[in-house]
Every structure is written in structure tokens, then in C-alpha cells.
């Protein structure tokens, strides 16, 4: 842990409806589960706001010295067209419409999702390292958890499936812990058909039985069938992170049903608190009428922004520029304003020479870093943190002193713009092509640990009048004066 680890970190906990100081269960380590995509359509910009929020929270926790053990799922079975089990399986619906198998549909949209994350420089989960947990690869874990719930008497088996007994769990008249709604309020707007053999309309499916038309089916102690949507998150989060998680997040829409049900399933099985801090992002709104080429009839996606010349990182800055708990109105003009901020920062980064980038900072930027850090620790006040970054760069121009690079690089561990990459690309652009080729070959040789070749390339560059430096980001080449 670094010296900054002592600063308290505050976050809004939906469980208490308060901003609380975050204290993990085990010192220095944060266990974090965030709900991932249902892979049956491209993820729209609203969804991407949710993943950007997760990414920022992870990065901010790391800035505070924590190791973040983060799990994210991919829902590739069991999410019905209504969150309350009614309707069709979303993946199978797309599969039928497109004449593909459910696996083909899920694989295609999973890849697209991961590509979108990469474009936004969103880091992948850390548990398992760099991987997403696919629901279809965790069926035995779900079956085992359902069995535990049955053993504790909070579920029952009927012809159409295994159901969670919501009223028994919640007790008469009790409000939902997260939503603070009664069951009647929660279901008031629901006008869909439910299985008629459920004991109560409030019960939700843990395992669905006797649906011969469903394409994906597995054997279980109760018969062939498939899991309900909610059980996957309980099973996968507890498998990798333990029975009590520090943080669980998702969009606000998950409060009344999905997360309420996850709590019920997990706590009825384990008898332990499931989550210590539930954190929810507000919605990106105003996408309905968004005028972006080719996007008519659906919500805009990242590719729509790219098609009109917007850098995906501008969308990252656009989201960073709003508090995660505030609704954010989407418009092209607003994203273009974020693009102008990105251009401003990019131009600065491109103009920082190697000598300054690899040297020490001046003293004056330090308080800027403190302010940046404090803003993030204050319930992720990203708009304030972004303002500090822009101020720092402005002040650097005013003082005509670019020795702020290390400070900016530390801020970038959360902001995620990749200032060093921008600077290095700009520096490389200025090199003659044959020198840049030698530089790239040397990076390649070092990656392969071919030190003989890397030394030979260094000598070649030296002979041509270029200095060679090894940095964590790779080979930096500069003409000798
Ligand atoms: P889904 O694929 O529908 O399960 O959504 C993936 C994630 O995006 C969930 O955490 C949702 O809560 C979140 N989400 C959905 N729509 C929006 C939106 N318009 N703005 C922000 N987050 C959203
Ligand atoms: Zn979930």
C-alpha cells in the first residue's frame, strides 16, 4: 500500500441510503462483483455508462492502495424478456430471429461487448484474471446453490420449476431491503402471464422445468431444464469471492428485482450478509431521440459515435464528467464537448518531450493531485476530478512548465486516457520511418526476451545517432543532440 492508502474513501450505499466510509472486510483487499451484459444485442451507450462506472470505481479503489478482486458475469442463458421470469429467453429469441444457435448469438455479442470495452479502455475483471464468467459454464454451481436454498426450506419444486418462496423469506408485510417497496408495490406494474402453479405471483424461478421448446437445457436433480436469471449472479459471485462481498454494483434498474432477489437467494442459503456495499449507477437518458447516423430504431452504440468521428475515449470523458448517481442526458453536442476536452489534453500530452516525461515533476502540481484524489474519495466525484486535471494542464501552460507528467500519469490511472501512449505515439511520429521500424523491432525483441537481438538493435540505433531508453511502456528513442 502506498502513502495515499490512509485517506478514507466514501461511497453511497443503497442498503443504508447514505454515503458511508468504505472499509473492506479484509484489510487491503476489495471483493467486487458487478452485473454484466445479457448477450443478445449490442450493448448501448447506457450500458457502457454502467461499465465505465465500474471501471472508475475499481481504478479509484486501486488509487487508494487496494487490491481489487473483481468478477463480472456474461448472461448467456435464462434472462427472460421481463426481469420477473415472464416472456421468452432473450438469447433464444434472438437466435430464432437470426436463424443461429444460442451459443453463436452469445459468442458473437460477447465478442462485440469485449471489443467495446477495449475501445473505452475499460479493464477486464481480475478474477479469474482477464476473464468474464459465463453463466452456461457455471450450471453445476447454480444447481448446488439451489439445493442449499431447498435444504433451508426457502424454495419448492412444482411442475414448471423450482421457485424461491419470497413471502417466507421476507416475512409478512416486510419491505424489500434495497428497494424499500412492499411486494405489491414491486409487482404493481407487472401485467405479464406467470406460471400458474407457483404458490405466489411474487415467487421467482431458480430452475425452470418442462419447457421442451427451450433450446438450452441441462440435467438437474429436479429434471431437465435451465436456470433462472438471478441465481447466476449469486452462484458466480460467491464461488469466486466468498459468501460476503464487499461491493456489488449494477444500474439502478436492478434495485427492485434482480438485486433484491440475489440477496434473498444468497442469504437464505448461507445465513450470512451477502453484500456490504450495494452501489448503483444512474441512467444515461435521452438516447431515444438521438440523431446519429444509422441508429434509427435502436439506442445508439459506440460504433455510431465512431462513425461520426468521435473518439470512444471522448465518451469515457463525457461519463467521467458527470456524477455516477445523477442521470446523464445524452446528446451528440455534449459528447462533442467532451471530445474538445480530450483534444486539449491530447495536444498537451503530444508536446511533452521525453526528457520531461522521464524527469521529476515540479513541486507545484502536488496539491492538484491531492485535490483529484479527494474528489474521487468523496463518493466518486468525477466531474470535480476532471476539472482538476484540466486546471493542472491549464496551469502548466500558464507557467510554461511542463514538469507535471508524473502527476498526470497518476491521475491517468483512474481517468484512463492513456497520456503516455499518446505522447509516445507522437514522439514516434516524429522519428524517421527506418528509425521507428528499428524501435518497434526492439520492443518486439524485448517482449520475446531476445536480449541479444535487442542489444544489437540498440547498437544500431546508437550508431545512427539515437539514444535508446527502456521505460515500462517500452523503448523510447531520441536523437542525440
Ligand atoms: P443488461 O444487459 O440489460 O442486463 O444491462 C447491463 C447493465 O447496464 C446493467 O447494469 C444495467 O443496469 C445497465 N443499464 C441499462 N440501461 C442503462 C442506461 N440507460 N444507463 C445506464 N446503465 C444502464
Ligand atoms: Zn446480476
CA 260, chain centre distance (Å): 21
pLDDT digits (tens, 9 = 90+) for 430-449: 888 899 899 999 999 999 99
Residue 172 is predicted with a pLDDT of 73
Q: Are 254 and 33 in contact (CB under 8 A)?
A: no
Which range among 16-20, 62-66, 89-93, 337-341 shows the weakest confidence by mean pLDDT? 89-93
pLDDT band (50, 70, 90) for residue 296: low
% the chain with pLDDT above 70? 94
Q: Give mean pLDDT, residues 166-179.
A: 84
Pocket test residue of 247, 253, 315 for ligand 1, highest count of atoms within 8 A of CB: 253
Nearest to 116 by CA among 306, 263, 331: 306
* Closest listed residue to residue 331, CA positions, set 118, 52, 339: 339
Which domains are seen in the chain, by residue range? Answer: 3-281 (3.40.50.620), 330-423 (1.20.120.640), 433-479 (no CATH)
Instruction: Tell whether ligand 1 has an atom less than 6 A from the beta carbon of residue 283.
Output: yes
Q: What is the DSSP letter of 25?
A: S
The finding on whether 230 has its CB within 6 A of some atom of ligand 1 is: no
Is 60 exceeded by the pLDDT of residue 192? no
How many CA within 13 A on the CB side of residue 424? 18
Based on C-alpha coordinates, what's the Rg of the chain?
25
Of 65, 68, 56, nearest in space to 30 by CA: 68
Task: Say what the pLDDT of residue 188 is.
Answer: 58
Asked whether 258 and 229 are in contact (CB, 8 A), the reply is yes
> Residue of the nearest CA to atom 6 in ligand 1?
37
Atom number in ligand 1 closest to CA 254 = 12
Atom index in ligand 1 nearest the CA of residue 284 equals 20
Whether the Cβ atoms of residue 24 and residue 62 lie closer than 8 Å to each other: no
300 lines ligand 1 (CB under 6 A): no
Tell me how far apart the alpha carbons of residues 452 and 41 are, in angstroms, rounded to a whole number: 49
Q: What is the pLDDT of residue 3?
A: 47
Ranking 58-72, 325-339, 351-365, 425-439 by mean pLDDT, the lowest is 425-439
Residue 189 pLDDT class (50, 70, 90 cuts): very low
- Taking CA atoms, 213 is separated from 158, 196, 210, in Å, by 18, 18, 9
1 pLDDT higher than 50: no
Ligand 1: centre distance to CA 245 (Å):
21
CA of 158 to the centre of ligand 2 (A): 25
Read off the pLDDT of residues 456-474 as tens digits, 9 standing for 90 and up.
999 999 999 888 888 766 7
Alpha helix (H) residue ranges in 120-226: 139-151, 166-170, 183-187
Q: pLDDT tens for residues 274-294?
A: 999 999 999 999 888 776 655
Mean pLDDT is highest, among 142-146, 466-470, 473-477, for: 142-146
- At 467 the pLDDT is 85
Distance 229 CA to ligand 2 centre (A): 8
C-alpha cell at 395: 496551469
Which of 77-86, 233-242, 342-351, 372-381 is least confident?
A: 77-86
Exposure letters 7-29 (e unless 16+ CB within 10 A, then b): eebbbbbbbeeeeeebebeeeee
The answer to whether residue 340 scores a pLDDT higher than 90 is: yes
For the Cβ of 10 lying below 6 angstroms from any atom of ligand 1, the answer is no
pLDDT of residue 85: 72
What's the pLDDT at 178?
A: 86
- The string of pLDDT tens digits covering residues 52-98 is 999 999 999 999 999 999 999 999 987 887 776 777 888 999 999 99
pLDDT of 5 > 70? The answer is no
Question: Does residue 84 line the site of ligand 1, with CB under 6 A?
Answer: no
C-alpha of residue 15 to centroid of ligand 1, in Å: 20
Tens of pLDDT, residue by residue over 389-434, are 999 999 999 999 999 999 999 999 999 999 999 998 888 778 888 9
Of 151, 158, 254, 260, the residue nearest 202 (C-alpha): 260
Average pLDDT, the chain: 92
**pLDDT exceeds 60 at position 2:** no
Across the range 18-29, mean pLDDT stands at 98
What would the pLDDT profile of 196-254 be if each residue is shown by its tens digit?
Answer: 799 998 899 999 999 988 999 999 999 999 999 999 999 999 999 999 999 999 999 99
Q: Is the whole model's pTM more than 0.85, yes or no? A: yes
| 3-state DSSP assignment of residue 280 | strand
Amino acid at each position: 500500500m502506498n502513502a495515499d492508502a490512509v485517506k478514507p474513501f466514501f461511497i453511497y450505499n443503497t442498503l443504508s441510503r447514505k454515503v458511508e466510509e468504505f472499509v473492506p472486510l479484509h484489510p487491503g483487499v476489495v471483493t467486487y462483483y458487478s452485473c454484466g451484459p445479457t448477450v443478445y444485442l449490442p450493448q448501448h451507450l447506457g450500458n457502457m455508462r454502467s461499465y465505465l462506472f465500474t471501471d472508475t470505481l475499481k481504478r479509484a479503489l486501486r488509487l487508494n492502495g487496494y487490491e481489487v478482486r473483481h468478477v463480472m458475469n456474461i448472461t448467456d442463458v435464462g434472462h427472460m424478456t421481463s426481469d420477473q421470469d415472464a416472456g421468452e429467453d432473450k438469447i433464444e429469441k434472438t437466435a430464432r430471429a437470426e436463424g443461429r444457435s444460442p451459443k453463436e448469438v452469445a459468442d458473437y455479442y460477447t465478442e462485440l461487448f469485449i471489443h467495446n470495452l477495449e475501445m473505452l479502455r475499460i479493464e477486464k475483471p481480475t478474477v479469474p484474471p482477464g476473464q468474464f464468467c459465463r453463466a452456461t459454464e457455471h450450471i453445476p454451481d447454480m444447481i448446488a446453490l439451489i439445493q442449499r436454498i431447498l435444504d433451508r426450506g426457502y424454495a419448492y419444486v412444482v411442475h414448471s420449476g423450482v421457485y424461491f418462496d419470497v413471502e417466507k423469506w421476507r416475512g409478512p408485510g416486510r419491505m424489500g431491503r434495497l428497494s424499500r417497496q412492499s411486494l405489491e408495490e414491486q409487482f404493481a406494474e407487472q401485467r405479464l402471464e406467470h406460471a400458474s402453479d407457483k404458490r405466489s405471483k411474487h415467487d421467482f424461478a431458480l430452475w425452470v422445468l418442462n419447457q421442451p421448446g427451450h433450446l438450452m437445457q441441462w440435467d438437474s436433480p429436479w429434471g431437465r431444464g435451465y436456470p433462472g436469471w438471478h441465481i447466476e449472479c449469486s452462484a458466480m459471485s460467491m464461488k469466486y469471492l466468498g459468501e460476503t462481498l464487499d461491493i456489488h454494483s449494477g444500474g439502478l434498474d436492478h434495485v427492485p428485482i434482480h438485486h433484491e432477489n440475489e440477496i434473498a437467494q444468497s442469504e437464505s442459503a448461507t445465513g450470512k450478509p451477502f453484500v456490504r456495499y450495494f452501489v448503483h449507477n444512474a441512467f444515461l437518458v435521452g438516447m431515444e431521440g438521438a440523431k446519429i447516423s444509422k441508429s434509427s430504431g435502436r439506442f445508439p452504440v459506440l460504433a455510431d459515435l465512431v462513425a461520426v468521428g468521435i473518439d470512444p475515449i471522448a465518451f469515457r470523458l463525457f461519463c467521467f464528467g458527470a456524477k455516477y448517481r445523477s442521470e446523464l442526458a445524452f446528446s451528440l453536442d455534449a459528447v462533442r464537448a467532451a471530445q474538445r476536452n480530450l483534444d486539449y489534453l491530447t495536444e498537451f500530452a503530444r508536446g511533452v518531450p521525453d526528457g520531461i516525461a522521464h524527469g521529476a515533476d515540479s513541486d507545484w502540481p502536488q496539491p492538484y493531485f491531492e485535490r483529484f484524489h479527494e474528489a474521487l474519495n468523496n463518493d466518486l466525484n468525477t466531474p470535480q476530478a476532471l476539472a482538476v486535471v484540466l486546471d493542472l494542464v491549464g496551469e502548466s501552460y500558464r507557467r510554461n512548465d511542463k514538469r507535471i507528467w508524473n502527476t498526470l500519469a497518476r491521475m491517468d490511472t483512474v481517468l484512463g486516457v492513456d497520456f503516455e501512449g499518446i505522447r509516445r505515439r507522437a514522439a514516434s511520429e516524429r522519428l524517421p520511418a527506418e528509425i521507428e521500424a528499428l524501435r518497434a523491432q526492439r520492443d518486439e525483441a524485448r517482449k520475446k526476451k531476445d536480449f541479444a537481438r535487442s542489444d544489437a538493435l540498440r547498437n544500431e540505433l546508437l550508431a545512427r545517432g539515437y539514444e535508446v531508453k527502456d521505460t515500462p511502456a517500452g523503448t523510447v528513442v531520441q536523437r542525440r543532440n
